[in-house]
Chains A and B, each alone.
Chain A
Amino acid sequence: MISVSKLLCDLDAEGDGLRYDAADGSSKPQISRVKQRRPVVVWNLTKRCNLHCSHCYAAADTEVAPGELSTAEGKRLLDDLSDYGVPVVLFSGGEPLVRDDLFELIRYADDRGIRPVLSTNGTLITDESAERLRDAGLRYAGISVDGLPERNDEFRGKSGAFDAAVRGIRACLDAGLKTGLRYTITERNASDLRGVVELLRNEGVDRFCFYHLDYGGRGADITDLDLSPEAKRAAVKELCDLTRTYHRRGEEIETLLVGNYADAAYLIEYARRYIGSDAADRVHSYLRRNGGDPTGERVADVDYQGNVHLTQFWQGYSLGNVRDRPFSAIWDAESNPVLRRLRERTDHLTGRCADCRYQDICRGGSRLRALTVHDDLFAPDPQCYLRDEEIAPSSPPETSAD
């Protein structure tokens, strides 16, 4: 997760310590005073969902899937995560609000010292449930909207989904919950990016997370909808420009990019071209501390049946199952060669990643996309949009980032 607003506009946020080891210089209360040592854990509470989105990494369905961890099992999982030092659990799905015990599990996580946050389509959130989420201790609700109304509803497979999500956003904001947008950028909706930000900004949203498409679940079936590298570059530039425009007029929105660490290098090039070399050096310094793609290190996933995955997008391979081994033991088991090699991936990257000058801040980007497209865990990320002259292991080019 790369904060555009932090890096380009110096906006302080609660994640400064966790993400950049920069808690001391931040004016905001911090999730963690030090950079995380343990992963943020995404817990897909259920596979069931009231929508059927074309890009769903969890391949969620409207039917109940068997084998969900029970409330009691979930609490034991949270005990283990707490003892292990996991800083944040992202309750996700499917749609987590279809589970009646969501509030109880959020409260339990909070009581155990884990920061509970939520990923939801927002369409089931009412005024009452938003207040219950707040009272249970939820710290943040990320609500998915993937385009302006017509496009979003097409993507989500349900007419009226956009309006229902906006009602959910309003309910959360009215309840005093920190609430943000989750938006997966594809060829279909890239042109809606600016419009969605403006529309939701008018609703009072001030945090906007943009996800690159990863090739897991149903996302693997729509790789043809992924942006071309040049279009991806243009979309990221538009987000950078938009963020700076808002900040220049005094609206301090928080904007973040997720799922493609080519963005890290691009932000340095952008800063160098449009802000100055000192800014580029500062951005580079933050990103070194951030450490690049977090797969298998700073992010983990537990699915509804208790299978542990390298990220939430990588559901096709499981490291183990929490019903027969604690999460902490599974995550620490570097006898697993995939886990071990991923953690030392810079020694194994091939092709243009092998001698990329930004390897230390990107770490090869998405290994799942490389595996899906090239059948090779350490091949270049097919969605790296950096130009050869930008990544050459020499001095940076005079002009770039356009």
Chain B
Amino acid sequence: MVEKPDRYRVGEHPREAVEHEWEIFVREEERDPLRHVGSVSAPSADVAYEQATKLFAWYANDLWVCPARAVHRYTTDTLDDDAELVELGSGDEKRTHEP
């Protein structure tokens, strides 16, 4: 049985405590996909990169930082009060989910 996932859009909650929050992505080898590996708190992208470098430079070829506020999160599993179910269109939806 294959069915479409119920996926929710997580609310736009602040992720920034003292400084800005930056999502970190690393690519281990040249042909690997980028992988999300968490986030760091930093005042700027350059400082976020510096901090992420200390954690991942020994490991990753590439390292990307992205403002957490720019990331919209869609998930099948959330505890968020503000999460909204995103309705998928019916019919010929090809991307499916094995529950």
The residues of A with any CB-CB pair to B shorter than 8 Å are: 47, 59, 65-67, 69-70, 72-73, 76-77, 80, 303-307, 315-326, 329, 335-338, 341, 371, 375-377
Contact = CB atoms under 8 A, between A and B. Distances in A.
A307 B14 CA distance: 11
A342 to B, nearest CB: 10
Contact of B79 (A80, A304, A338, A371): A80
Contacts of A324: 10, 73, 75, 78, 80
Contacts of A325: 75, 77
Contacts of A69: 79
A316 B40 contact: yes
Interface of B: 10-11, 13-15, 17-18, 21, 26, 28, 35, 37-42, 51, 54-56, 58-60, 73, 75, 77-81, 83
Given A65-B17, A323-B13, A336 B37 contact: yes
Contacts of A329: 77
A47 B16 CA distance: 12
Interface of chain B, main secondary structure = loop
Contacts of B40: 316-318
A73 B73 CA distance: 17
A337 B59 contact: yes
A305 to B, nearest CB: 6
Given A59-B18, A65-B17, A67-B15, A375 B54 contact: yes
Interface of chain A, main secondary structure = loop
Given A317-B40, A323-B79, A371 B35 contact: no
Contacts of B42: 316
29 contacts: A47-B17, A59-B17, A59-B18, A65-B17, A67-B14, A73-B79, A73-B80, A305-B14, A305-B17, A316-B41, A317-B38, A317-B40, A317-B51, A318-B21, A319-B38, A323-B10, A323-B79, A324-B73, A324-B75, A324-B78, A324-B80, A336-B37, A337-B26, A337-B28, A337-B56, A338-B37, A338-B38, A377-B54, A377-B58
B24 to A, nearest CB: 9
Nearest to B26: A337
Nearest to A47: B17
Q: Which 10 A-B pairs rank lowest in CB-CB distance, beginning with the nearest?
A: A76-B79, A67-B14, A324-B73, A323-B80, A66-B14, A67-B13, A337-B59, A319-B38, A324-B75, A318-B39
